[in-house]
Amino acid sequence: MAGGQGLALVGVLTVLPTPMLAVNILFAVALFTLPGAMVWLDRQDRMPAALPWFHLLVVTPVLAFALLMISFQPNNYCNTILQHSEFRAFYVLFLPFLPLLAHMVVASKVGRPWLFGCILTLPLLFVFDLTVAYEVLHMVYQSQAGEGVVYSGARAWECNHFDGASMQMAFRAKWRANQAFLVLMPLVLIGARLVHRRRRGDDAAQNEKSEV
């Protein structure tokens, strides 16, 4: 299983739309370091205006492309459903966004809340699709078909074997899970920022009363 997870992560570097492995490695470094760097710079009030836009307009589309290629595998003639040992490797892609998520939820002041919200919601949607939503797909398929997807043996000689009707229901459940994430993530972020705005307003009103 560990080998499958390692190969899955390496697959991110091989499907990126850049011709050189070194460039892909630099992209991976940027992916894992930029969110934390933006948090530090925002707290120091030293955020360059171009940095979050670079993440949103460059890093996010490239990451989305890579994860979609891994999920759909357009060059594979089989309708391949990723195994648990493959898609669970991508849970690590949640980690670089945790500092930015904590900053958005906890910090009393955020310099670019709407931009940070997009940086969190859009990339994490594709990570969610390849991890948690895939868990939903396998769970629903097994409950409908009575067994999991077959990856070896006589029924899976060239491609993995599954029941088509049950898999359609599983993919619909996966799609609904993605929709739920796309709705809940912005609501959580907006709610957190509104709470902090209200607290700042209450503190300002309290200070005015104390000065009077």
38-94 residue pLDDT tens: 999 999 999 998 999 999 999 999 999 888 888 887 667 777 788 888 888 899 999
Could you give the number of structural domains in the chain? 1
Contact in structure between 174 and 136 (CB atoms under 8 Å): yes
Other residues' Cβ atoms within 10 Å of the Cβ of residue 193: 19
Nearest CA-CA partner of 171 in 78, 79, 66, 40: 79
pLDDT number for residue 208: 55
More confident call, 157 vs 40: 40
Contact in structure between 85 and 4 (CB atoms under 8 Å): yes
Other residues' Cβ atoms within 10 Å of the Cβ of residue 65: 14
Quote the pTM value. Answer: 0.84
Specify the range with the lowest mean pLDDT, choosing from 10-19, 23-32, 160-169, 203-212: 203-212
pLDDT of residue 201 exceeding 70, the answer is no
Angstrom CA distances, 104 to 65, 114, 161, 192, stand at 26, 10, 43, 7
Question: pLDDT for 139-148, tens place per residue?
Answer: 999 999 888 8
Residues in the chain: 212
pLDDT number for residue 3: 44
pLDDT of residue 135 exceeding 90, the answer is yes
Question: pLDDT for 11-35, tens place per residue?
Answer: 565 566 666 677 778 888 899 999 9
Provide the 3-class DSSP secondary structure of residue 161: strand
DSSP states along 86-127: HHGGGGGGGGGGHHHHHHHHH-S--S-HHHHHHHHHHHHHHH
pLDDT number for residue 40: 95
CA 144, CA 184: separation in Å to the nearest integer? 27
Structural domain of 115: 2-211
pLDDT of residue 203 exceeding 60, the answer is no
Ordered alpha helix ranges (H), the chain: 2-15, 21-43, 50-54, 60-72, 84-87, 98-106, 113-130, 132-145, 164-211
More confident call, 152 vs 187: 187
pLDDT of residue 36 exceeding 90, the answer is yes
Question: pLDDT for 89-134, tens place per residue?
Answer: 899 999 999 999 999 999 888 988 999 999 999 999 999 999 999 9
pLDDT of residue 209 exceeding 70, the answer is no
